[in-house]
Amino acid sequence: MSPIFKVIETSDVSAESLERILNDWTAQGWRFGRMQFAMCDSSKRPALAFVTFGRALTERSAGSGARGAEEVASLSVTRRVLWTSLLVGAIASLFVSFCVGTQAIVIGSPEGNWAYGYRQPFTLHIIVVFVQVAVPAFALCAVPPRFVRRHQW
C-alpha cells in the first residue's frame, strides 16, 4: 500500500527534545526517515529541526482500528475521483479534437475577417495519434502502487 509520511517541526533543537520526538513517534509505529536542520545566519546553532517519519498505510490501519479503515476508504474514493477525472478529460479531449478536426470550432471571428484557418482536414491519422498517446497513459495509470518505488534523488 501507499506510504504515509509525518513531519515534525521543532524549534527546540536540544538533544533531549530530539530524543523525545524520535522515541515518541517510533513507539507509535512510525519509522524514522531523516532529520534536517535550518540554520540561522547569526548563530552556528540550528534554529529549527524537521524530523520525518513514515509507515505503510497497512501498518497504520492495523494499529488504529476505525481511523485506519476511514483512511483506506478515503484512499479508494480519491482513486475513483482520479480515474473518473481521467476518463472525463479523455472524453472531453476527444470531443474537442473531433470538433476541431471536422472544423466545427472556428477560432477567431470570420465576420471580423481574422479567423484562423485549418491546415489539414480530419483524417484517421488524428485518431491513430490519440490512441498511441492514450493507451500508454492509461497503462501507466493502471500500475499498482506496490510496484512503484519512491526514492530520493
What DSSP string describes 121-134?
Answer: ---HHHHHHHHHHH
Q: Three-class SS of residue 63?
A: helix
* Cell, residue 15: 538533544
The b-or-e profile of 82-113 (16+ CB within 10 A means b, else e) is: eeeeeeeeeeeeeeeeeeebeeeeeeeeeeee
**Which residues lie below 8 Å from residue 77, measured CB to CB, with a gap of 6+?**
none
**pLDDT per position as a tens digit, 50-97:** 999 998 776 444 455 555 555 555 666 677 888 899 999 999 999 988
Question: Residue 122: what pLDDT?
Answer: 72
Closest among 46, 51, 45 to 18, alpha carbons compared: 51
Residue spans per domain, the chain: 3-64, 79-142
Question: What number is the average pLDDT over the span 40-46?
Answer: 83
Q: Which CATH class is domain 3-64?
A: alpha beta
| Phi and psi at residue 123, to the nearest 5° | -135, 170
Q: Quick one: pLDDT at residue 60?
A: 44
Tens digits of per-residue pLDDT, 93-145? 999 888 877 788 888 888 888 888 777 777 888 889 999 999 999 998 888 77
